[in-house]
Amino acid sequence: MTVPSVEVSSVPAELPAGKVLLDVREADEWEAGHAPGALHIPMSELAQRLDELPGDSEFYVVCRAGGRSARVTQYLNANGWDATNVDGGMQVWAAAGRPLVGEIDGAEPEVI
Protein backbone atom coordinates (compact mmCIF):
# COMPACT_ATOMS: atom_id res chain seq x y z
CA MET A 1 0.00 0.00 0.00
CA THR A 2 1.38 3.38 -0.96
CA VAL A 3 1.30 6.14 1.60
CA PRO A 4 0.19 9.58 0.41
CA SER A 5 3.04 11.94 1.23
CA VAL A 6 3.88 15.60 0.98
CA GLU A 7 7.12 17.57 1.32
CA VAL A 8 7.42 19.93 4.30
CA SER A 9 7.55 22.84 1.86
CA SER A 10 4.05 21.92 0.65
CA VAL A 11 2.48 22.10 4.11
CA PRO A 12 0.92 25.56 4.44
CA ALA A 13 2.54 27.74 7.11
CA GLU A 14 -0.96 28.68 8.27
CA LEU A 15 -3.22 25.68 7.97
CA PRO A 16 -6.63 26.49 6.53
CA ALA A 17 -9.81 25.43 8.27
CA GLY A 18 -10.33 21.70 8.02
CA LYS A 19 -6.62 20.84 7.94
CA VAL A 20 -4.74 19.59 11.02
CA LEU A 21 -1.05 18.89 11.63
CA LEU A 22 -1.05 15.72 13.75
CA ASP A 23 2.21 15.10 15.63
CA VAL A 24 2.50 11.43 16.63
CA ARG A 25 5.84 11.61 18.51
CA GLU A 26 6.21 10.71 22.16
CA ALA A 27 5.77 13.28 24.96
CA ASP A 28 9.49 14.02 25.45
CA GLU A 29 9.91 14.71 21.73
CA TRP A 30 6.84 16.99 21.72
CA GLU A 31 8.01 18.91 24.79
CA ALA A 32 11.46 19.52 23.28
CA GLY A 33 9.99 21.14 20.16
CA HIS A 34 6.95 20.98 17.92
CA ALA A 35 5.15 22.96 15.26
CA PRO A 36 2.89 25.71 16.60
CA GLY A 37 -0.76 24.72 16.52
CA ALA A 38 -0.12 21.01 15.98
CA LEU A 39 -2.34 18.39 17.61
CA HIS A 40 -0.32 15.95 19.72
CA ILE A 41 -1.43 12.34 20.00
CA PRO A 42 1.47 9.89 20.32
CA MET A 43 1.36 6.91 17.97
CA SER A 44 1.32 4.62 21.00
CA GLU A 45 -1.94 6.23 22.20
CA LEU A 46 -3.70 6.88 18.91
CA ALA A 47 -6.06 3.89 18.87
CA GLN A 48 -7.41 4.85 22.31
CA ARG A 49 -7.71 8.56 21.43
CA LEU A 50 -9.36 8.52 18.01
CA ASP A 51 -12.29 10.47 19.43
CA GLU A 52 -9.94 13.47 19.82
CA LEU A 53 -9.45 13.75 16.06
CA PRO A 54 -11.59 16.58 14.69
CA GLY A 55 -14.29 15.25 12.38
CA ASP A 56 -14.32 16.24 8.71
CA SER A 57 -10.64 17.25 8.84
CA GLU A 58 -7.72 16.38 6.62
CA PHE A 59 -4.55 15.46 8.49
CA TYR A 60 -0.90 16.09 7.81
CA VAL A 61 0.80 13.45 9.97
CA VAL A 62 4.32 14.13 11.28
CA CYS A 63 6.88 12.39 13.49
CA ARG A 64 10.65 12.80 13.82
CA ALA A 65 11.74 11.39 10.45
CA GLY A 66 8.65 9.96 8.74
CA GLY A 67 8.46 6.28 9.73
CA ARG A 68 5.89 6.43 12.49
CA SER A 69 3.84 9.04 10.68
CA ALA A 70 3.74 6.82 7.56
CA ARG A 71 2.30 3.96 9.62
CA VAL A 72 -0.25 6.28 11.27
CA THR A 73 -1.19 7.71 7.86
CA GLN A 74 -1.87 4.18 6.57
CA TYR A 75 -3.94 3.37 9.65
CA LEU A 76 -6.01 6.54 9.47
CA ASN A 77 -6.70 6.20 5.75
CA ALA A 78 -7.68 2.53 6.19
CA ASN A 79 -10.18 3.59 8.86
CA GLY A 80 -11.96 6.40 7.04
CA TRP A 81 -9.86 9.49 7.71
CA ASP A 82 -8.05 11.59 5.11
CA ALA A 83 -4.35 11.64 6.04
CA THR A 84 -1.07 12.52 4.34
CA ASN A 85 2.41 11.75 5.65
CA VAL A 86 4.89 14.63 5.99
CA ASP A 87 8.12 13.36 4.38
CA GLY A 88 11.21 13.77 6.54
CA GLY A 89 9.17 14.74 9.59
CA MET A 90 10.15 17.31 12.15
CA GLN A 91 13.84 16.94 11.28
CA VAL A 92 13.18 18.38 7.83
CA TRP A 93 10.66 20.84 9.31
CA ALA A 94 13.36 22.32 11.58
CA ALA A 95 16.07 22.20 8.89
CA ALA A 96 13.76 24.17 6.58
CA GLY A 97 13.53 26.93 9.18
CA ARG A 98 9.89 26.26 9.98
CA PRO A 99 8.81 27.55 13.42
CA LEU A 100 9.21 25.43 16.54
CA VAL A 101 7.85 25.92 20.03
CA GLY A 102 8.81 23.97 23.10
CA GLU A 103 7.35 23.15 26.47
CA ILE A 104 10.59 23.22 28.49
CA ASP A 105 11.08 26.53 30.31
CA GLY A 106 14.21 28.37 29.25
CA ALA A 107 15.21 25.81 26.62
CA GLU A 108 15.51 26.58 22.93
CA PRO A 109 13.00 24.41 21.02
CA GLU A 110 14.68 21.52 19.21
CA VAL A 111 13.80 18.27 17.48
CA ILE A 112 15.04 15.25 19.40
Whole-angstrom Cα distance, residue 45 to residue 24?
9
45 catalytic? Reply is no
Of 21, 35, 63, 72, the active-site residue reads: 63
Own/partner long-range contacts of 63-66 (Cβ < 8 Å, ≥24 apart): 63/23, 63/24, 63/25, 63/89, 63/90, 64/25, 64/29, 64/89, 64/90, 64/91, 64/111, 64/112, 65/89, 65/90, 65/91, 66/5
Active site positions, annotated: 63
